[in-house]
Amino acid sequence: MSLYSTPAQLGRIRDILCGYSRLPFSGGSIPGAVMEGAIAQVRDATVLRTYDFVDVVKPATGVGWQVKATAATTPVTWKRAKIPDRDALIRASQNGPKNLQALGDEIIRFCNDHARESLHRFALDSIGYARLVRHADGKCTYFETELISKKQDVLFNPAEFSWNWSVKRAAGKKEQLQALHGHHLPSKERWWAWHGLGENQLHFTGERTWWPKKEDGHSITFSLPTDQLTLDQLMQLLDPKAAKT
């Protein structure tokens, strides 16, 4: 079975998300857990709820998906990138571009290993990216794209990135810790921000290059409904006897 949903399955995912957004407690957003549940429901798959690269898997057909759902302007968090020998690599990175590149290479290695590990752990043939983007105009785009497979299990090429530490800045009375920025050489854009001096968060803005240039057979664009149910209406649907008389 393909990791790509059919047009009918894309429509079912859309309908589930639209239904959730009408709930009185939805807050006008779609949490990642809801996205994972929707994909698992439609694709008859399993939500892992672990820290693996892949979030939803269907081992019987050899496919899995990493799932993300954020606003278009919100950086995607890869995960906490705990790099072996972090402190020594950070100190060395202050002493020349070669050592700086070595630290960046370790971050890319961490990402590649993280993805490849899921491929082998769950005996998958391919891993896709299932992503909901919430745009500023209120519309949403859901798309799917393949990331890695048995035939091509390297997600990023470390040679395509250069690295630098951000400039120290003060945030109010506190000094903001520097972040390690990774720039994608072919596109000349910043793709990475690793907060290794703090809690190891790794932000990945390069995933925007995975967005479809226009709606295709693996994506669907729609508007979330704005007519949320009241709590009484929800209770009426769940249990007519519990609604107010």
What is the CATH architecture of 7-242?
Answer: 3-Layer(aba) Sandwich (3.40)
Which of 2-11, 144-153, 208-217 comes out lowest in average pLDDT? 208-217
Strand 180-184 with 174-176, pairing:
unpaired
CA dihedral (66, 71, 76, 77) positive or negative: negative
Residue 213 has what pLDDT? 83
What is the token pair recorded at 95? 């002493």
Q: How far apart are CA 179 and CA 188, in angstroms?
A: 18
Residue 242 has what pLDDT? 59
* Percentage of the chain modeled with pLDDT above 90: 66
In 3-state terms, the chain is what percent helix, strand and coil (to 5)? 35, 30, 40
Give the mean pLDDT of 184-189. Answer: 94
* Percentage of the chain modeled with pLDDT above 70: 91
Residue 244 has what pLDDT? 52
- 3-state DSSP call for residue 18? helix
Residue 20 has what pLDDT? 86
Q: How far apart are CA 230 and CA 91, in angstroms?
A: 56
Residue 164 has what pLDDT? 95
What ranges in the chain are assigned the alpha helix state H? 7-21, 32-43, 86-93, 97-121, 231-238
Q: Per-residue pLDDT tens for 92-129?
A: 998 889 999 999 999 999 999 999 999 999 999 999 99
- 3-state DSSP call for residue 81? coil
Q: Are the C-beta atoms of 122 and 64 separated by less than 8 Å?
A: yes
pLDDT at residue 172 tops 90? no
Residue 167 has what pLDDT? 85
Report the DSSP beta bridge partners of residue 201. Answer: 80
